[in-house]
Structure 1
Amino acid sequence: MTKALFLAHTAAPSGAELATLRLLAALRELGRTEVTAIFTEDGPMVERMRARGIETRVLQSGFDSRAMTIGSGPFRLLAGFLALLRLGWTIGATAKSTGTEVLVAESSKALVMGAVAARRAGIPLVWQVHDRIAADYFGRVPTLVLHTLGRLVAAGYIANSKTTLATLRTGRSPAIVAYPGVEFGTDTTPEHCGDQREPEETVVAVVGRLSPWKGQDVLLRAAAAAKVRPRRILLIGGTFFDEEPYRAELEQLAHDLALPVTFTGHVEDPNPHLHDADILVHCSVLPEPFGQVVVEGMHAGCAVIATGPGGPAEIVEPGVSGLLVDGGDEKQLTAALDTLIENPDLRTRLSAAGRARARHFDVDESARTVADFLDTLTRRTDAAGHQNPEKRTPSVERNPHV
């Protein structure tokens, strides 16, 4: 059994952290990988991990996970970088003392810590990449730094989509795609899932933290221009990382457009809201790394509209299991809303096909893919961290979802 330590820099319940929770729970259930999670701060994800029976440690470091956000000044970035290096040294001691065989970094900040930790422990470092490493998201200089650091320290890569993998410079290091998955084994979807309301009663939902690149403002303007306005619009998600002013902008926009918008704030489980919605709209204006809310909406029985390019284009079969529009294009989004709102029968067909499509993204399949990858990688690596060329390298094609 491979002993793996999964390293996260934040314990806030955002998409990447929730995907990691589902993956670790599935790996634990699979029984081929001994998993431990380590966080550099306390927070909701710590208790969630422990509630699922996952060994979880908190490094009481005083580290502020927002110390190195995009747009931080040079001094704040430098201070945060040095703090990550110090944390990495401590984590390396933990990994060494616990007999960890492979370290998995769950973010770019975790990669910095993991580089030091893996070196001290003498074990391979895997970078599990949840974001597109591209200039339109990180900026040119941080993107170059991350690409260089990955090439220098990562013994392997786990990408959350083909879209994400295409932004990485993996060199000769092995890389796989393991999609964030849905836990079908705990399916509590009600029998009436997929029932569609009449046009004037339609409920539209958007799931995701309230952030400008998520495009909730685009959806509001598109909905205001629809031939039949939705009866209700649910904006499901909270604010993180100093994004509170954007919520105020959305509230003002909804008021100005006279739209019936409900702001739920952060919710632990969006499924009850999704089960109540007819249409899920994914409206990111930048290419989404994956878009697990699209799968969740399909699984809940919503007719889905999603934006491309990006991960959602790997999920949605246009016209079959959902509709695709270009990110940031209000006119296309309005046209898609008109098509679905005015046609409950089409919504019903897309809902049924979407539920079937969602089954392709079972977290248990992702867990098997990751377990195979970690097993192979640790067999290829001797105690000094040197690669053994006689062992086979995993490839993207090993992922059953692709």
Structure 2
Amino acid sequence: MNAFEAVFLAHTAAPSGAELATLRLVSAMPAGSTAVVYTEDGPMLRLMAERGIETRVVRNGFDSRTMTIDKAGVRSLLVGATGLLRLGWTLGATVRELEATVLVAGSTKAMLMGAVAARRAGVPLVWHVHDRVSRDYFGRALALIIRVLGWVVARGVIANSRGTLASLYTWRRRAVVAYPGVEFPAGDESVEFAGDSGILGDARPQGQRPATETVIAVVGRLAPWKGQDLFLRALADVRTLPREVFLVGGTFFDEQSYRAELEMHATALGLPVTFTGHVDDPESYLRHADILVHCSVLPEPFGQVVVEGMRAGCAVIATRPGGPEEIIDPGVNGLLVTAGNRAELTRALDRLIADRELRAKLADAARLRSRDFDVAASARTVTNFLTGLPGKRWRRG
């Protein structure tokens, strides 16, 4: 059996942003030196297997959906944490069996489980943080509890942005920022995607479409904090409606009613919106669109879809504060608007829809900027970080 250096722990096998970022990361790390352990079955196991990544499932009776940390109170968090800690003891045996020398927890729930698992396996725990630990997301009390727990149990921290890192306690702890990277075909220097758009029909022209033919995409989970409702209201106020708008993304848990609300708004406002539902890979929609809109109303931890849209040649509008500020140079490779400001978003949409040349200029610069977020660079950062943990050895493959 292979001896793995780094085992990544995930509490969910649903293909959401953090899990897909982990897929790309471990794929780019030294071959044979990583494994991923899930606490439930799901699509991520198939995606990992397709890339030859060793995966394990530790089946259990604990349903992580009963502990929605961002909505729970302190008492609910403590009750749910008890179940996670019990599960962590079981996970410890798997981590030890895999002969790991470091355990990397990819979420707050995984961090709680991982604290026990790492202790039982006798390996250091690293917390890979994909969410800003702030009161905006968790509430004041929970954010404080999570920060303190992370500081106590984790030997090191990997954050997905400088903003995320700033939301943590890192005193006397090793810490590094590793952006969620995007993948580029080997030898591809053009960052250009040739060919048609498949099921979408006509691909985006070499430049950009005329104003009345513009296509807009909004990519992300359909959730109130992602701001799709604000986008629809802002879009209703533009001077020239685009030809097509794609809202690409599914719903989790109790968010189905939000999709129904969005559909009602789109119909009432007479907007040319198509709801695609969950899409494993939104690249074809990004290649088809002229404009990508990122419209989170809370500070985004990073915003990897912003980089994906830039790579695909979209002119991007994104919100600040948050991760997009670390990606976009406003007016050079994209536009930034204030989160939650409908009038600003409408003005940015009007500006891009009307100005085909500006869209092309921003898109060209965006392709070049996306190169700075190559997952190969992120993998080197993470590998070097894990290598440097006190008492660690790293077998390079």
* C-alpha distance in 1 between matches for 2:272 and 2:308: 24
Partner of 1:263: 275
Q: Please state how far the C-alpha of 1:185 moved relative to its aligned partner.
A: 2.5
Relative to 1, partners in 2 of residues 1:74 and 1:171: Cα closer, same or farther, differing over 3 Å? closer
- Kindly indicate whether the alpha-carbon contact (under 8 Å) linking 1:106 and 1:130 is maintained by their aligned counterparts in 2: yes
Alpha carbons of 1:121 and 1:292: their partners in 2 closer, same or farther (altered >3 Å)? same
Secondary structure at the counterpart of residue 65 of structure 2: coil
Alignment partner of 2:338 out of 326, 330, 349: 326
Separation of aligned partners in 1, 2:379 and 2:351: 37
Match of 2:19 in 1: 17
Letter in 2 for 1:232: E
The C-alpha deviation readout for 1:352-387, integer Å capped at 9, x for no partner, is 00000000000000000000000111xx1379xxxx
Contact 2:71–2:138 (Cα < 8 Å) also in 1: no
Which residue in 2 is equivalent to 1:41?
40
Deviations 1:121-179 (A, max 9, x none): 11110000000000011111211111110111110000000010110111110100000
1:164 aligned partner:
164
SS in 2 for 1:136: helix
List per-residue Cα deviations over 1:54-97 (Å, max 9, x = no partner). 00000111321212103246675444212211111011122223
Q: What CA distance in whole angstroms lies between the structure 1 residues aligned with 2:172 and 2:205?
A: 46
Q: Do structure 1's residue 115 and structure 2's residue 119 form an aligned pair? A: no
Q: Which amino acid aligns with 1:262?
A: T
Tell me what 1:386 maps to.
none
Contact 1:101 1:124 in 2 (8 A): yes
Aligned to 1:291: 303
Is contact 1:193-1:300 (8 Å) kept?
no
What's the counterpart of residue 200 of structure 2?
none
Who is 1:128 aligned against? 128
- C-alpha distance in structure 2 between counterparts of 1:54 and 1:2, whole Å: 11
Q: After superposition, what is the alpha-carbon deviation per residue over 1:300-351, rounded to whole angstroms, capped at 9, x for unaligned?
A: 1100000001100100110000000000101100000011000101100101
Letter in 1 for 2:250: G
Aligned to 1:313: 325
Unaligned runs of 5+ in 1: 384-402
SS state at 2:66 partner: coil
Q: Matched residues, percent identical? A: 61
Partner of 1:365: 377
Q: Which amino acid aligns with 2:310?
A: M
Q: Give the counterpart of 2:364 among 352, 368, 376.
A: 352
Asked if structure 2 preserves the Cα contact closer than 8 Å seen for 1:194 and 1:302, the reply is no
Structure 1 residue aligned with 2:249: 237
Q: Which residue of 1 aligns with 2:193?
A: 189
Residues 64/42 of structure 1: CA separation in 2 closer, same or farther (3 Å cut): same
Asked whether the 8 Å contact 1:194–1:351 carries over to 2, the reply is no
Q: TM-score, normalised by structure 2?
A: 0.92
Cα distance change on mapping 1:115 and 1:330 into 2, 3 Å: same
Moved over 2 A (4+): 70-80, 185-188, 191-195
* Kept after mapping to 2: 8 A contact 1:2/1:374: no
With over 3 angstroms needed to count, the CA separation of the structure-2 counterparts of 1:363 and 1:14, relative to structure 1, is same
2:201 corresponding residue in structure 1: none
Cα 1:283–1:5 change in 2 (3 A) is same
Q: Distance in 2 between matches of 1:167 and 1:74?
A: 19
Of 100-109 and 54-63, deviating more is 54-63
Q: Which residue of 2 aligns with 1:68?
A: 67
Q: Is the 8 A contact 2:60 2:87 kept in 1?
A: yes
- The answer (yes or no) to whether the contact 2:74–2:142 under 8 Å persists in 1 is no
Correspondence for 2:6 among 4, 11, 15: 4
1:340 paired to 2:352: yes
Give 1:241 deviation, angstroms. 2.4
For 1:250, the equivalent position in structure 2 comes to 262
> SS in structure 1 opposite 2:231?
helix
Give the aligned partner of residue 217 of structure 1: 229
Q: Which amino acid aligns with 2:326?
A: E
CA distance in 2, matches of 1:16, 1:318: 26
Bigger mean CA deviation after superposition, 289-298 or 225-234 = 225-234
| Residues in 2 aligned to 1:194 and 1:246: alpha-carbon distance in whole angstroms | 36
Deviation at 1:190, TM superposition (A): 1.7
Give the SS at the match of 2:47.
helix
Could you tell me how far apart the structure 1 residues matched to 2:165 and 2:143 are?
14
1:3-55: per-residue Cα shift (whole Å, max 9, x none)? 0110000001100000000001001xx34x71010000000011111111000
Name the stretch that deviates more: 3-12 or 87-96.
87-96
Superposition TM-score, scaled by structure 1 size:
0.91
Distance 1:159 1:178, change over 3 A: same
Letter in 2 for 1:16: A
Q: What's 1:393 paired with?
A: none
User: Are the equivalent residues in 1 in contact too, given 2:4–2:35 (CA < 8 A)?
Assistant: no
Bigger Cα displacement from structure 2, 76-85 vs 129-138: 76-85
Aligned to 2:33, what secondary structure does the other structure show? strand
Cα distance in structure 1, aligned partners of 2:267 and 2:392: 62
Question: Which amino acid is 2:85 matched to?
Answer: L
Identify the residue that residue 86 of structure 2 maps to in structure 1: 86
